Structure 1
Amino acid sequence: MISVNEAKDLIKNNLPSPKTTTILLENALNYVLAEDIYSTINIPSFRQSSKDGYAILHQDIANNNFEIVGEQPAGISKNYEIKPNQAIRIFTGAPLPKNADTIVMQEYTVVDNNQMSITGAKFSLGSDVREIGSEIAIGELALKQRTQLQASSIGFLAMLGITEIKVYNKPKISLIITGNELAARGTQLIEGQIYESNSIMLSNAIQGTINETPKIVFAEDNLETLKSVIDNTLKQSDLIILTGGVSVGDYDYVKKACEEIGIDTIFHRVKQKPGKPLYFGKIGNKIIFGLPGNPASSLSCYYIYLQNFLLDFAKMPLTTTIKLPLGKSYTKSGSLTHFLKAKIVNGKVFPLTAQESFRLSSFAIADALIILPETKENFEENEIVEVITLSN
């Protein structure tokens, strides 16, 4: 067996080289830019009003008596040019008259018989005027490479007229669920069966991490069947995640099936609890994870290893651990790293009950995993421990 840190290093060292693709901007949510983007236009491209009001010459404010000589809506330009003591009714986003230099907000005006005067406020030169290129100018950097795209950044790129962007690929993922004892939800259980939960659980975890939906495949606990399923799934996947069949029982075929179809085993079995029989393999640029079949164990391994693997693959920001005081003392047995389902309360982290690898009920209310290193057994109340925060 290898240590948790050794397993993490081996996974990171075998991360496939990044690939890029060009996608439509409307499909870019949560993708990461693979190149710097520079503006090819000025925003705004014309002198623009930022408020509803009146466009004037600032020098005329002292006289405070303006003749309204026209109206300028947004979307078209009437090419007005005003004379001293004249004003143009103007609306948000509309182009300014050629020589106007100040906008007076309509809330601070009195209009009578086509004459306008200012009341209740002072306006400085350039008030509420958006100058050409004040948001971004031609040639300026709009967004840096490695920016993760959210609704706001997508909207900003749309303002630049951009329709397509180059991004880092996200992995094509397949989940292979093994176990003859598994039954589909909505069916009647027979003795010896349990409802299958890993597919929906891990699928939602993956969607929450990189906004991608994996393909789900089911396989019997049969060596030849499993070999065929893995081999076929490899052809359409960058990453395969298997659940179940990774231990050393008579019906645990994952490691043998992988090796018999040419997958190199990078490691199998880690000094940790839960998730000791974790499997990691590689063939070409394709990666294979074998997770334990017990749901809580499987989900623990996801948060410890797979979450950051997926983020790193897509060049998205990685998650990091935090340090918190332990809410109560805890003693673990054996020289394994323990990952405890936990709850953060008032700045402390408390281990939950039901820590067994098959117990998902405690995971359902957990918002953290406590990491207790393999080299120590006794942990005191208020001792600082490392914590993975969860996104439940």
Structure 2
Amino acid sequence: MITVQEAHALISKAVHVLSAEEISLHVAQGRVIAEDIRADFALPRFDNAAMDGFAVQWADIRDARERRPVTLRVNGEIPAGAPADIVVEPGSCVQIMTGAHMPEGADTVVAYEQTSGFGGETVDIFKPPAANANVRYAGEEVKPGDLLMRKGMRLTPAELGVLAAFGRSHVQVFQRPSIGIVTVGDELREPGQRLDGAAIYNSNRYSLESCALSAGAVVAGSWHAPDQPDAIAEILGEALAKSDLLMTAGGISTGEYDYIQRLLTGLGVRQQFWKVAHKPGKPLFFGDTPEGKLVFGLPGNPVSALVCFLEYIMPALSAMQDGSYHGKIDAVLAEPFPADRKRYRFLFGRVWQKDGGLFCLVSDKTESHMLTSLVGSNCLIEAPAAAEPLPAGSVVTCNLLPWSTLHE
């Protein structure tokens, strides 16, 4: 049995980055950038007005007051997108709209509200802004060649907006990992089917599918196998052939019907470890293939399976797209944490912000079969082995659930 840290090291060593592809911005939400992106031009590209008003020479209006306004001749109008083909000379100005190109000779924009308004041949200026006010200068935000985004960043609406602002219709991204999911067990039934005898519903299949999608992966397929070695081996072979990453749920412990470990190695999967010193989820299998595919054998208990996905598979999926996993934060325990004497402990709970700090609380249900412990949870709280419960006020690590948000 290995430690949590040793397990992470072995997984990290086995990960291979997927190849890249070029896609349209229309379908790029959530994808991971496969290239450093630099600015092709300055932003703004030209000096422009930051608000509606009048482009003036500040020297003309510096002494303007409410009771002694300065009157200027209006030489024309420059709307956004129009050429700035008017010259502002002393004693004159130009009516200008937000985003419009600043005309030659002007150095300041007076807001519409500080004037007598649009539409006349002259305008009264009642209050001068500071010199050079309300002008966006070329290159003040971004200069040509500046780094906009680093390879490995995930595309959100912010990044997509910036790419569009620089005229990019397509972007290089890493391929999304394809995940195969295999659940095992004669006792499992699909939702909608009738339960008979000691049968239970197959929750792992659906929660793990949702986890994969939340992590930005593609579900290559989802299979269920009965407790028959030949049937399991056939399904595992099919799932492995279609996936970059295969995860199984159930059949990985030491019971009479736990065939997964033996069958995976029989299919050419190189075992890297089996059993990790954490609770829940100790019987965790990890291996890889000569082709670079990753294989995780998760416990059948639904909470254990989700713990292993969040702690190990989420970082692996990020690494397959050349990114770092940033889902963990530190928070202060609001109540004691029931640590384990021998093993690293994971418990679902919630984290929230209050008075400028982050606080967390463990779910009321802490056993590995209690799937309802996730309802209302937004994080996985973790702590090293300890002889006594961690007291309230201790700082612990929280792994944010990718589908949740911080509670207020």
- The alignment status of 1:220 with 2:225, answered yes or no, reads yes
Q: Does structure 2 retain, via aligned residues, the 8 Å contact 1:268–1:280?
A: yes
1:299 positional shift: 1.0
Letter in 1 for 2:108: T
Q: Which moved more, 1:259-268 or 1:57-66?
A: 57-66
- Residues 243 and 126 of structure 1, relative CA distance in 2, 3 Å threshold: same
Alignment of 1:1-392 (within 5 A): 1-17=1-17, 19-61=19-61, 62=63, 64-77=70-83, 79-111=85-117, 113-119=120-126, 121-208=127-214, 210-221=215-226, 222-284=228-290, 285-314=292-321, 315-320=323-328, 322=330, 324-325=332-333, 327-328=335-336, 330=338, 332=340, 335-343=342-350, 349-374=360-385, 376-379=386-389, 381-382=391-392, 384=394, 386-391=396-401, 392=404
SS in 2 for 1:65: strand
1:74 positional shift: 1.3
Distance 2:293 2:15 in 1: 9
- Residues 162 and 223 of structure 1, relative CA distance in 2, 3 Å threshold: same
Q: Does structure 1 retain, via aligned residues, the 8 Å contact 2:337–2:362?
A: no
- Residues 84 and 31 of structure 1, relative CA distance in 2, 3 Å threshold: same
1:92 positional shift: 0.9
Q: Does structure 2 retain, via aligned residues, the 8 Å contact 1:55–1:101?
A: yes
Q: Does structure 1 retain, via aligned residues, the 8 Å contact 2:181–2:248?
A: yes
1:169 positional shift: 3.6
Which ranges in structure 1 are unaligned for 5 or more consecutive residues?
none
- Residues 154 and 330 of structure 1, relative CA distance in 2, 3 Å threshold: closer
Letter in 2 for 1:359: M
Could you report, residue by residue, the CA deviation over 1:47-80 in whole angstroms, capped at 9, with x for unpaired residues?
A: 3111111122223225821122212111221511
SS in 1 for 2:42: coil
Distance 2:359 2:141 in 1: 44
Q: Does structure 2 retain, via aligned residues, the 8 Å contact 1:371–1:385?
A: no
Task: Give the root-mean-square deviation of aligned CA atoms.
Answer: 2.7
TM-score, reference length from structure 1? 0.88
1:182 positional shift: 1.9
Q: Which moved more, 1:193-202 or 1:351-360?
A: 351-360
SS in 2 for 1:242: strand
SS in 2 for 1:127: coil
Letter in 1 for 2:97: F
Letter in 2 for 1:354: K
Q: Which moved more, 1:350-359 or 1:289-298?
A: 350-359
- Residues 71 and 366 of structure 1, relative CA distance in 2, 3 Å threshold: closer
1:108 positional shift: 0.6
SS in 2 for 1:81: coil
Distance 2:281 2:377 in 1: 18
SS in 2 for 1:298: helix
Which ranges in structure 2 are unaligned for 5 or more consecutive residues?
65-69
Residue 67 of structure 2: aligned partner: none
Distance 2:12 2:249 in 1: 21
Letter in 1 for 2:78: Q
SS in 1 for 2:183: strand
Q: Does structure 1 retain, via aligned residues, the 8 Å contact 2:246–2:295?
A: yes
Q: Does structure 2 retain, via aligned residues, the 8 Å contact 1:370–1:385?
A: no
Distance 2:381 2:161 in 1: 39
Distance 2:338 2:147 in 1: 52
- Residues 39 and 365 of structure 1, relative CA distance in 2, 3 Å threshold: closer
Distance 1:169 1:8 in 2: 23
Letter in 2 for 1:60: D
SS in 2 for 1:378: coil
1:279 positional shift: 0.9
Letter in 1 for 2:319: D
1:167 positional shift: 3.0
- Residues 98 and 311 of structure 1, relative CA distance in 2, 3 Å threshold: same
SS in 2 for 1:297: helix
1:29 positional shift: 2.6
Q: Does structure 2 retain, via aligned residues, the 8 Å contact 1:326–1:380?
A: no
Letter in 1 for 2:53: G
Q: Which moved more, 1:142-151 or 1:103-112?
A: 142-151
Letter in 2 for 1:273: K
Q: Which moved more, 1:306-315 or 1:137-146?
A: 137-146
Q: Does structure 1 retain, via aligned residues, the 8 Å contact 2:182–2:247?
A: yes
Distance 1:309 1:282 in 2: 12
- Residues 321 and 10 of structure 1, relative CA distance in 2, 3 Å threshold: farther
Letter in 1 for 2:6: E
Distance 1:231 1:77 in 2: 65
Q: Does structure 2 retain, via aligned residues, the 8 Å contact 1:39–1:138?
A: yes
Distance 2:256 2:133 in 1: 79
SS in 2 for 1:22: strand
Distance 1:341 1:83 in 2: 69
SS in 2 for 1:125: coil
